[in-house]
Amino acid sequence: MAKQKTESALAVGELIRFYSSFESFQREYDKRNPGVVLKIKRHKSSQDYSKRLSAEVLWSDGSITSEHATYLQRVNT
C-alpha cells in the first residue's frame, strides 16, 4: 500500500496509536492501540473554513473508527 503524505505527517498505511492527555478518552483506546491509517480526510469547518484532518483507522481489536488527526501519533518501529 503506497503512503500518502499530508500536512499532519500522517500517511495511509502508517502504524499509529491514539493518545490523549484526557484520561477518559485514553482509557477507551488502551485495548485498541495500535492501529493502521486506512484513509485521511480533510474537512472544512463551518465556522472558520479552515482545514481539519481526520483519519479512518483500523485498530488492533478489529474495529474501525474515524479520529481527529491531533489524537494520533506515529508508532516508531
14-72 pLDDT, tens per residue?
999 999 999 998 998 999 999 999 999 887 665 544 457 899 999 999 999 999 999 99
d(CA 65, CA 59): 8
- Decide if 70 is inside a domain: yes
Q: What's the confidence (pLDDT) of residue 15?
A: 97
Residue 75 has pLDDT above 70, yes or no: yes
In a domain, 6, yes or no: no
Q: What is the pLDDT of residue 52?
A: 78
Residue 9 lies in a domain: no
User: Is 4 part of a structural domain of the chain?
Assistant: no
50 to 25, 45, 53, 58: CA distances (angstroms)? 25, 6, 10, 26
| Structural domains in the chain (count) | 1
1 inside domain: no
Q: Is residue 36 part of a domain?
A: yes
Range of the domain at 49: 15-74
> What pTM did the predictor assign?
0.77
In a domain? residue 2 = no
CA distances, 62 to each of 18, 21, 32, 44, 57 (Å): 15, 24, 8, 29, 10
